């Protein structure tokens, strides 16, 4: 799983099909400041990977790289990225890439629609190292964040439970969702780091 976000001083991950010069030219078009450009690049890349995942594509990271390759080629041909249409441009190219993948893999699409996906095989709780890492990561959280995420995941009467939580915090349900999701992301990063060690 790619973790670089360009914000921790590490260089952004260059797409495989792109030369270093092409990559630098792409960054320069995103922003004159290279560090800001790197951050923007990683943000767009992460979003593209997720869009391809949500569309059910295999190898979403490769497809995101393909998208960047094509944008870089068009920049070489003289297309200019304006700050107002930068995201939209990448999204448009990504949608073309997606449609091509769909056309090329009709058999894959039939499998997707017929529901031929095998269920993910869960590890037993006793064997799953993630659970222990999660417990340690939960202990590292601030108390209110830990309360928030655990209570949100309580299974009983879930919808009512979440509505009650949102009322107590004085926020809308979707704002609660986003808050919980940000805590989840912290946990995800923490678990990932612990598992890696």
Binding site for other proteins (CB under 8 A): 1, 44, 47-48, 50-51, 53-56, 58, 60, 87-88, 90-92, 94-95, 112, 115, 117, 119-120, 122-123, 125, 128, 130-131, 134-136, 138-139, 143-144, 146-155, 158-159, 163, 165, 167-168, 172-175, 177-178, 180-182, 184-185, 187-188, 191-192
Smallest gap from Cβ 20 to other proteins, in A, equals 26
Closest by CA to 68, choosing from 48, 82, 88, is: 48
Smallest gap from Cβ 79 to other proteins, in A, equals 18
Smallest gap from Cβ 129 to other proteins, in A, equals 10
Where helices occur in the chain by DSSP H, the ranges are 20-30, 34-54, 60-76, 86-104, 106-114, 129-140, 143-152, 158-169, 173-196
Instruction: State the Cα torsion 128-130-131-135 to the nearest 10°.
Output: 150
Closest by CA to 98, choosing from 71, 73, 72, 64, is: 64
Q: 23 vs 152, which CB is nearer to other proteins? A: 152
Residue with tokens 């499998």: 111
Q: 72 vs 148, which CB is nearer to other proteins? A: 148
Q: 78 vs 115, which CB is nearer to other proteins? A: 115
Q: Which residues contact 55 (CB under 8 A, 6 or more apart)?
A: 98
Smallest gap from Cβ 25 to other proteins, in A, equals 21
Closest by CA to 57, choosing from 87, 96, 94, 102, is: 102
Tell me the C-alpha to C-alpha distance, in Å, between residue 20 and each of 9, 32, 67.
18, 17, 16
Find out whether 167 and 109 touch, Cβ atoms under 8 Å.
no
Q: 96 vs 104, which CB is nearer to other proteins? A: 96
Q: 21 vs 123, which CB is nearer to other proteins? A: 123
Smallest gap from Cβ 76 to other proteins, in A, equals 22
Smallest gap from Cβ 150 to other proteins, in A, equals 5
Q: 17 vs 56, which CB is nearer to other proteins? A: 56
């Amino acid at each position: 799983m790619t973790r670089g976000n360009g914000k921790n001083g590490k260089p952004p991950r260059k797409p495989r099909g792109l030369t270093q010069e092409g990559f630098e030219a792409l960054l320069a078009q995103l922003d004159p400041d290279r560090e800001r450009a790197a951050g923007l690049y990683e943000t767009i890349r992460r979003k593209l990977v997720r869009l391809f995942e949500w569309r059910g594509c295999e190898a979403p990271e490769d497809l995101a790289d393909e998208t960047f390759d094509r944008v870089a080629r068009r920049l070489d041909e003289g297309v200019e990225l304006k700050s107002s249409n930068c995201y939209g441009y990448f999204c448009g190219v990504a949608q073309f890439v997606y449609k091509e993948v769909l056309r090329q893999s009709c058999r894959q699409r039939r499998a997707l629609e017929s529901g031929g996906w095998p269920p993910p095989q869960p590890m037993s709780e006793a064997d799953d190292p993630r659970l222990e890492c999660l417990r340690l990561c939960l202990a590292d959280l601030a108390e209110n964040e830990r309360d928030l995420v655990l209570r949100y995941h309580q299974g009983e009467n879930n919808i009512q439970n979440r509505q009650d939580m949102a009322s107590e915090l004085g926020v809308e349900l979707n704002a609660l969702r986003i808050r919980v999701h940000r805590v989840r992301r912290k946990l995800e990063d923490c678990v990932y780091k612990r598992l890696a060690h």
